[in-house]
Every structure is written in C-alpha cells, then in structure tokens.
Amino acid sequence: MDYAKARATFAAAADAERAVPMAHYLRDQFVFFGLSAARRRDLVRPWLRTAKHAPEVGIY
C-alpha cells in the first residue's frame, strides 16, 4: 500500500466528528481522519498481511 492508497482508504473511513477533538488534543498541529486505533489497524491489516510475504525492499 503506497501513501496515496493509504490516504484514500483512511479518508473513505474518516469520522469528521471524532477528528475535531483529536486535532484539538494536539493543538491543531496535525490533520486527523478521526479513526480510532482499532479501526486504523483493521484498515491496515490486509496490507500488512501481503507486505509480510513481499520481498524486502531497501530503504537506504
């Protein structure tokens, strides 16, 4: 999952009502999707399963 796909997945599941207090908590320094950690893990889990078996890619 690349950045654009992850962002689109999170945006589709976003909860604007929850995002406001999350942003305020960190003094409005960051944009939030309003996703709980559990929901975010559920969204990323399929990608992590496929990435686990993918060939390793060097970062450096």
Rounded to the nearest angstrom, the gap between the alpha carbon of residue 21 and the centroid of all alpha carbons in its chain is 17
| 57, part of any domain | no
Identify the residue with better confidence: 51 or 28.
28
**By three-state DSSP, how is residue 29 classified?**
coil
| 16, part of any domain | yes
Q: pLDDT tens digits for 21-45?
A: 999 999 999 999 999 999 999 999 9
User: Domain limits at 31?
Assistant: 3-52
The encoded tokens of residue 17 equal 């009502």
End-to-end Cα spacing for the chain? 19
What is the pLDDT at residue 43? 95
- Report pTM: 0.76
| 32, part of any domain | yes
d(CA 42, CA 51): 15
Identify the residue with better confidence: 3 or 38.
38
In the chain, how many domains are there? 1
Q: Is the pLDDT of residue 17 over 80?
A: yes
Q: Is the pLDDT of residue 59 over 70?
A: no
| 25, part of any domain | yes
Unique residue bearing structure tokens 């999350």: 22
